[in-house]
A = this chain, B = another copy of it.
Amino acid sequence: MAHPNICWEDLQAGQVRDLGSVTPTREAIIAFATQFDPQAFHLDDEAARASVFGALCASGWHTCSMAMRLMVDHFLIDSSSLGSPGLENIQWHKPVFPGDTLRLRVRITDTRAMRSRPHVGMIRIAWEMSHEGGEKVLSMEGWAMFGRRNPAAPDKPAV
C-alpha cells in the first residue's frame, strides 16, 4: 500500500484543522431518527413544538455521525487512520434544526508513541461543531490511532 499523505509524524499538538460543513435537511433528520432514534421530538413537528427543543431537531447521534463524515472526508481519508478506542465528554450544547449549517473544527491536543506497537502512534483530538455564527452545537474529545511513516526502533531484547 502506498503511504497516505498524513501519518502520525505529521500530527502535532496545537494544530487546528477546519473540516468543512454540513447542512442536514429535514428529510435526513427524520430518516436518521426513524432508523436509530425514533423519539417524537426527532420525527414529528407537533410533538417537537411541545418538547423542550421547541421544534423538530436532529438526534444527537446523527450530529455525531455527520461530524464523523466531515472528519473522514476532509482528514482521515488521506491519512493512516487506524480507528479509535473511544471518546470522552460528548456534549450536545444546542439542538440541531433542519437547514442549520454546521462547521467542524478539530484541534490536536496531544500525541504519543505506542510502546507496544512501534508502527502506531496516538493523537488526542478535540472536536468542535458550530453554527456559522460560531455557536457550539457539539464538542467531544478522544484518542485516535494512526500509522507511523517511520516505525520506532524495536526495544532491544533483555539479555
Per-position contact with B for A112-141: 1 when CB-CB < 8 Å, else 0? 000000000000000000000000000000
Bound Cα distance A153, B61 (Å) = 34
Give the chain B neighbours of A37 by CB distance below 8 A. Answer: 65, 68-69, 72
A77 at the interface (CB under 8 A from B): yes
Out of B72, B82, B90, which one reaches A52, CB within 8 Å?
B82
Give the chain B neighbours of A76 by CB distance below 8 A. Answer: 39
**Can you name the residue of chain B whose Cβ is closest to the Cβ of A50?**
B1
Bound Cα distance A82, B86 (Å) = 25
B88 touches A89 (CB 8 A): yes
Give the chain B neighbours of A142 by CB distance below 8 A. Answer: 90
State the number of copies, please. 2
Per-position contact with B for A47-64: 1 when CB-CB < 8 Å, else 0? 000111100000111001
A15 at the interface (CB under 8 A from B): no
Bound Cα distance A83, B60 (Å) = 9
B77 touches A84 (CB 8 A): no
A81 at the interface (CB under 8 A from B): yes
**Can you name the residue of chain B whose Cβ is closest to the Cβ of A65?**
B36
> Which residues of A approach B to under 8 Å, CB–CB?
1, 35-39, 41, 50-53, 59-61, 64-66, 68-69, 72-73, 76-77, 81-92, 142, 145
